[in-house]
């Protein structure tokens, strides 16, 4: 895959006449794209579909990339795929109908409270350590509205079950306190006391909360895969990503009357406008509120 990228960069410089800086920008963006494809097990351009591109853009969003960066990444991918099609490396340009992204288009599908419960409960809280761990991960992500990187970074010392709070290290290394709900607290307590010790594998000094079967910290890619697997097992036919649980966390709070500023604080957003992007209000609820409070509704 890197060979095609190298040839593409030569094409941009020699045939398109782009400056060295422009070629380097394309190269950097597409190298990141290729690294993501390799992580998810894709090794040929003919294996890539629109869904894989959307998954990559959602992954960029998980890494807190700005909307302008997302738009630039998609432009680079579109130009590259047009080149691959012209060179007959792929049979069709799958990006020809993909428009440049707006931030809200890069968010995973919103799921209802019922779908969220179905997604979380797909992993039983039984005796299997890995299935229990997966359940604890999903419960925690939804209960606290966490990014996947924040979930991977949780430690034993960051979970304060006696106070029902988690200390979360967010974007820009900013720390915030987030409440832990009863369901997540109960699951986490059992996970920490009875399940996690089974996963430690004599690595007693490890402080990371969520561990692999060999006792090593789970990375963000593995947590990503757990969420995707849960969606598949639950039969939810939507574009589900780790960010879906964070997005649903904020939306469900807003639907049930939570103040937007409080949601902003729990999500760790510096700007309230960012929080507004994460929230949806049902149209029926809007009509109901208008009818209830407007004097001439």
- Provide the annotated active-site residues: 147, 171, 243, 246, 269, 278
Q: For the packed helices 242-255 and 220-234, what is the interaxial angle rounded to 10 degrees?
A: 70
175-179 vs 165-169, strand pairing mode = antiparallel
DSSP H helices in 15-95 = 20-39, 50-62, 67-86
Structure tokens at 42: 């894709």
Helix (H, G, I), strand (E, B) or coil at 155: strand
Residue 91: CB atoms within 10 A of its CB come to 9
Cβ-based neighbours of 270, under 8 Å, separated by 6 or more = none
Q: How far apart are the first and last CA of the chain?
A: 60
Structure tokens at 14: 């020699």
Helix (H) or strand (E) holding 168: strand 165-169
Q: What's 81's DSSP letter?
A: H
C-alpha to C-alpha distance for 10 and 17, rounded to whole angstroms: 10
Structure tokens at 173: 């290394």
Given a contact cutoff of 8 angstroms between Cβ atoms, the answer to whether 268 and 171 are in contact is yes
Given a contact cutoff of 8 angstroms between Cβ atoms, the answer to whether 269 and 250 are in contact is no
Given a contact cutoff of 8 angstroms between Cβ atoms, the answer to whether 180 and 159 are in contact is yes
């Amino acid at each position: 895959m890197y060979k095609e990228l190298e040839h593409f960069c030569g094409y941009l410089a020699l045939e398109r006449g782009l400056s060295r800086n422009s070629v380097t920008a394309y190269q950097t963006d597409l190298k990141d794209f290729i690294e993501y494809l390799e992580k998810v097990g894709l090794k040929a351009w003919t294996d890539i579909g629109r869904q894989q591109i959307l998954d990559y853009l959602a992954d960029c969003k998980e890494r807190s990339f700005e909307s302008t960066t997302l738009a630039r990444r998609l432009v680079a991918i579109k130009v590259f795929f047009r080149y691959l099609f012209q060179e007959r490396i792929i049979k069709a340009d799958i990006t020809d109908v993909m428009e440049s992204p707006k931030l809200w288009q890069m968010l995973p599908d919103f799921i209802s409270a019922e779908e969220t419960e179905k997604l979380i409960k797909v992993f039983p809280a039984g005796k299997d350590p890995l299935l229990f761990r997966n359940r604890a991960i999903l419960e925690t992500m939804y209960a606290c509205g966490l990014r996947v990187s924040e979930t991977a970074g949780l430690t034993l010392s960051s979970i304060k079950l006696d106070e029902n709070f988690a200390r979360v290290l967010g974007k820009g290394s900013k720390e915030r306190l987030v409440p832990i709900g009863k369901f997540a607290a109960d699951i986490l307590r059992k996970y920490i006391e009875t399940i996690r010790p089974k996963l430690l594998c004599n690595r007693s000094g490890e402080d990371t909360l969520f561990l692999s079967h060999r006792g090593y910290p789970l990375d963000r890619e593995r947590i990503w895969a757990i969420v995707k697997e849960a969606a598949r097992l639950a039969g939810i036919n939507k574009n589900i990503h780790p960010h879906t649980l964070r997005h649903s966390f904020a939306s469900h709070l807003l639907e049930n009357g939570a103040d937007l500023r409080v949601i902003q604080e729990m999500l760790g957003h510096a700007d309230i406008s960012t929080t507004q992007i994460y929230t949806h209000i049902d149209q029926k609820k809007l009509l109901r509120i208008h009818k209830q409070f407007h004097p001439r509704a």
